[in-house]
Structure 1
Amino acid sequence: MGSSVVDLGPRLAAVLAVLTALAAVGGRLSGLGQDRPVVVAALRATVQLAVVSALLLAVVRSLPLSVAFVLLMVGVAAATAAGRVTGLPVRAAGAPRRVAAAALPVLAGAVPVVALVLASGAVPLRGEAVIPVAGILVGGAMTATSLAGRRLREELTGRRGEVEAALALGLQRRDAVLEVARPAAATALVPGLDQTRTVGLVTLPGAFVGVLLGGGSPLEAGAAQLLVLIGLLATQVTAVWAVTELIARGRLLPDVPC
């Protein structure tokens, strides 16, 4: 196996096909209706990773190209989060405004953490280091934004009467929405908190394994993983805070009570 976690070849392709089929069949038989989305997601991931792997061979050698690639990540993350938060497809009217609004919590969460780890020298300013670290943090910000925003949309829809009652009592819109929104938004932090609390006991995440496979010591692997996990916590807390404020101010969900 060398330095790889898996053996490349026909057996891997067969296993991936079987796993996709199992997930799709489970999505159909369970009544969840997720059989087609599972297949589409698996096919997209295969194509995207093949293309990205080829691109990275050239991109990581150039810092400007690496920065451009990170910006592409941010754009895709913002578009994905906008769809999850609003429940509207990218092609729906007003998409640029929604994507721009969703980009704010993604950037607010990821940029300060990326800037800190690079400025401190904890992560070298090289493409092969910048892209994976930025990708993890941007992905974490996207996930937190999507989870918090979607949960807030559901909560505000179900408890609209409470928000309107608070408005009738004289509360400002932001304050009325936040009374409902904050506890709901906090649930978006549960996965990150659980992952951090149980690291090394339940899972050995990718950064840890990657450093070990690259020849680093267990101590170096642990330090790298700790940086990623705590960086993700800071990223996700900020992203959830930002998306909650945007929704409370009516900047992201147009149907928030006025």
Structure 2
Amino acid sequence: MSAGEPQLTPTLVAVCLIMALAAAAVNRFALQGSPFSAPVAAIRASVQLAAVATVLAIALQRLWSSILVLAVMFTVASITAARRSQARQGAAWLAVALAAGMLAVIPVLLLTGVVPLKGVALVPVFGIVLGGTMTAAAVAARRSLDALGQRAGEVEAALSLGLPERFSRMMVIERPLSDALIPNLEQARTAGLVTLPGAFVGVLLATGSAAQAGAVQVLVLVSLLLAQVSGVAVVGEFVARGMIVRRDAHSSDPRQ
């Protein structure tokens, strides 16, 4: 453990507690929000991370158990993406979109040896890329479905002109799909200038090498870009082809 790396001490616990309470106070008195939101989120994160840390300490010792952890992570990510998309039909297809994103990245990293086939290396990289792809895919599906609902007249007009259904829908959802990629694109553009991403900070604290930290962060950011673009592209196809849909209360078309 690096001398500069934060350690689990009573001081660290006290600092986290003070900041959570401060966030609760600001949220309550300045934003008129719930005073429990920040503390509850902090407690939940602490419990979840403690549980995950305990499991990973054991699982990462063997490749087979690491792969089992990855399978659980992928399952949870697929369910979460489906729920966040608010799709009423076809939400399960988001698992395919996530798989497409991961397949675009992970095999390349492993085959080139950039990421060794070891749990201690594979699980963190897989988790970061999967988390980012999950968020982008869910946002892409949700915003695309919103756009189709709000601009249904444009789709109908295009269909009346004899344009294919997929093309008519894609004209409407192209912008929402692109918007889903904005957060990671902005993070990549401002990395090192405005923000110091988590992978960079983690490697820097662990090794003390800025060069190695930078290399790892670039790898993560580029991997995220490819995985998210691939995943969102698949989501767009599914939505455009009516495989992921939302049934509105005022619509008789089950694909809307």
Q: TM-score, normalised by structure 1?
A: 0.86
Spell out the pairing of 1:144-159 with structure 2 (5 A cutoff). Answer: 144-159=136-151
- Mapped pair 1:61 → 2:53: no
Task: Spell out, residue by residue over 1:28-73, the C-alpha distance to the aligned partner (whole angstroms, 9 max, x if none).
Answer: 5677867666555433322211110001111111111111111111
- Mapped pair 1:244 → 2:223: no
Change (3 A) 1:139 1:35: farther
Q: Secondary structure at the match of 1:214?
A: helix
Spell out the pairing of 1:104-183 with structure 2 (5 A cutoff). Answer: 104-183=96-175
Aligned twin of 2:250? none
The structure, 1 or 2, with the larger RCO (C-alpha pairs under 8 Å, 6+ apart) is: 2
Q: Secondary structure at the match of 2:245?
A: coil
In structure 1, runs of 5+ residues without a counterpart are: 89-93
Provide the rounded CA distance (Å) in 2 between the counterparts of 1:102 and 1:110: 12
* Paired amino acid for 2:12: L
Provide the rounded CA distance (Å) in 2 between the counterparts of 1:242 and 1:58: 35
Task: Kindly report the root-mean-square deviation, in angstroms, between the aligned alpha carbons of the 2 structures.
Answer: 2.5
Aligned twin of 1:91? none
Q: Secondary structure at the match of 1:193?
A: helix
Change (3 A) 1:54 1:111: same
Task: Spell out, residue by residue over 1:93-120, the C-alpha distance to the aligned partner (whole angstroms, 9 max, x if none).
Answer: x7xx63x311111111112201110111
* Paired amino acid for 2:63: L
Count of matched residue pairs = 250
Provide the rounded CA distance (Å) in 1 between the counterparts of 2:155 and 2:36: 37
Change (3 A) 1:217 1:174: same
Equivalent pair of 1:109/1:238 in contact (CA under 8 Å): yes
Q: Secondary structure at the match of 2:163?
A: coil
Stretch moving more, 247-256 or 112-121 = 247-256
Aligned twin of 1:14? 14
Q: TM-score, normalised by structure 2?
A: 0.87
Stretch moving more, 213-222 or 29-38 = 29-38
In structure 2, runs of 5+ residues without a counterpart are: 248-253
Provide the rounded CA distance (Å) in 2 between the counterparts of 1:22 and 1:174: 50
Provide the rounded CA distance (Å) in 1 between the counterparts of 2:31 and 2:201: 36
Change (3 A) 1:161 1:29: farther
* Paired amino acid for 2:231: A
Provide the rounded CA distance (Å) in 1 between the counterparts of 2:87 and 2:29: 25
Q: Secondary structure at the match of 1:64?
A: helix
